[in-house]
Amino acid sequence: MDLKYVIYVGAKPEDVWNIFVKPEATKAIFFGSTLESTFEVGARYEYVGPGSEGDETVHVYGEVLAFEPYRLMSFTEHPGPSYRDNHEELETRVTLTLETVGGSTKVTLINDQWPENHPSYENTKESWPMILSNIKSYVETGKTLDFGW
């Protein structure tokens, strides 16, 4: 049930990393949401942005498990409270690694530790490739993809 994706981006790891942590980039890639956290291991993080609860809707939250700038980020992930009543029970893990490959960056994303019958599994399986494609496009061209939303 693990989800694993590998892409290559024509940019330095620092440029790819910034997509995940800089507010202007996360807004572009993650549907208007910013990532809020101190990024210390054990700290809480939240993707917050426009949604069913207004401009401060928590879409995803969890705990930072590892954070090594420009190389590794790992965290638990829960759907926001407005998505699932049992959001606290629905924990997975996301691990992102960046490696330099020539003049490019290899991005590996693993979303694992899925509880049995997680209601967001199928949707997540479809959304990660879209998000990663959007990241590649944004880093390389400065533009996001048009998914018709």
CATH number at residue 128: 3.30.530.20
**Residue 149 falls within a domain, yes or no?**
no
| Cα(124)–Cα(134) distance, integer angstroms | 15
- Structure confidence at residue 75 (pLDDT): 98
- Write down the pTM of the prediction: 0.91
- Structure confidence at residue 19 (pLDDT): 93
- Structure confidence at residue 82 (pLDDT): 86
Residues of the chain with pLDDT under 50: none
| Cα(48)–Cα(53) distance, integer angstroms | 10
Q: Looking at residue 70, what DSSP letter applies? A: T
| Cα(67)–Cα(141) distance, integer angstroms | 27
Residue 74: which of 36, 105, 42 has the closest Cα?
Answer: 42
Find the domain containing 127 and state its range.
Answer: 3-141
- Structure confidence at residue 103 (pLDDT): 96
- The total domain count for the chain is 1
- For 94-126, give the DSSP string: EEEEEEEETTEEEEEEEEE-PPTT-TTHHHHHH
